[in-house]
Structure 1
């Protein structure tokens, strides 16, 4: 490419890049072109830098394939393409963009994986909503409290006539075992609910 003009029309810019005009339209809609104040022309150097800095690094293979089909090489623009300063700016922007893009993509993929894991564990019954767990705990504590508060009323008539300490202990142990069994039954899932 020869030394580029500072501004070009859309069709001329497409020819300058060796791409179809529809690609320039896509770049414009995506906000990847720097336009003149009247929005009727492209600021070449600034647009090239913006295109380079917003390029998706994961699509390098596609760019290489298309360039090979056109008989061109893919690589950084040379001084003759758009000047030394423009090249440096584009390379710096592209390098920082690659790092930021890859980091953002990695974070996005990590959160997608974590969300998928949580959803899977919820479906197989390993996870439950916090509200459901809080409600179950409240029911359990209520049942346990009710049984313990009724302990005196239930045990007093049974223990009063017994004078043997071991017999009293056996009655109390039996009552406590009943409370523990009832509490354990409260924790078991009811039929038809996922475990």
Structure 2
């Protein structure tokens, strides 16, 4: 592994020191722990992260340096895959933003909170049935009438829960 300082790396590749500094800031150089540039690894990373859509700039800089640019097919896939992935996630975020704005998508925590509230209303009202109906049912001797009274009370509780759900929407 050949290592050099940034100035020497700039001379080796025919770049300006400012260009090498930009490479470093962009994370396109492989640096050793003692602050030197790993020449081969940095050359590879620069190739992998090159924008293939900017061949015109690459050619212009190469001609200014007096060097010849080889067509390296390894530079495209890494950059293109990264760009495609980035665009994919941007599209997903745009979809989420749109669906949120039109009311098709809501936060999971909000939905969970609302359903806990509905379940609480349902449970509370169901638990009130024995207290409110015990004396009425105790006096009733006809089992079909007891059934009808209980059915009516349960329907009222379900209606309250349904009304609560509608208010949430």
Consecutive unaligned residues of structure 1, counting only runs of 5 or more, are 1-6, 15-20, 34-42, 67-73, 78-90
Q: Which residue of 2 aligns with 1:134?
A: 112
- In structure 2, the residue corresponding to 1:128 is in which secondary structure? coil
Structure number with higher relative contact order (C-alpha < 8 Å, ≥ 6 residues apart)? 1
Q: Give the counterpart of 2:126 among 124, 148, 151.
A: 148
User: Following superposition of structure 1 onto structure 2, how do residues 1-195 of structure 1 map, counting pairs within 5 Å?
Assistant: 25=18, 28-31=21-24, 52-60=47-55, 76=70, 91=72, 95=74, 97-190=75-168, 195=169
Q: TM-score, structure 1 length as denominator? A: 0.56
Structural RMSD (CA): 3.7
Contact 2:99 2:105 in 1 (8 A): yes
Q: Offset of 1:178 from its aligned partner?
A: 0.6
Q: Offset of 1:26 from its aligned partner?
A: 5.0
Larger radius of gyration: 1
User: Relative to 1, partners in 2 of residues 1:50 and 1:178: Cα closer, same or farther, differing over 3 Å?
Assistant: closer
Q: Which residue of 1 aligns with 2:3?
A: none
Consecutive unaligned residues of structure 2, counting only runs of 5 or more, are 1-7, 30-38, 61-67
For residues 129 and 157 of structure 2, the distance between their equivalents in structure 1, rounded to whole angstroms, comes to 9
Q: Offset of 1:127 from its aligned partner?
A: 2.0
For residues 155 and 89 of structure 2, the distance between their equivalents in structure 1, rounded to whole angstroms, comes to 46
For residues 47 and 165 of structure 1, the distance between their equivalents in structure 2, rounded to whole angstroms, comes to 87
Structure with the largest fraction of helix: 2
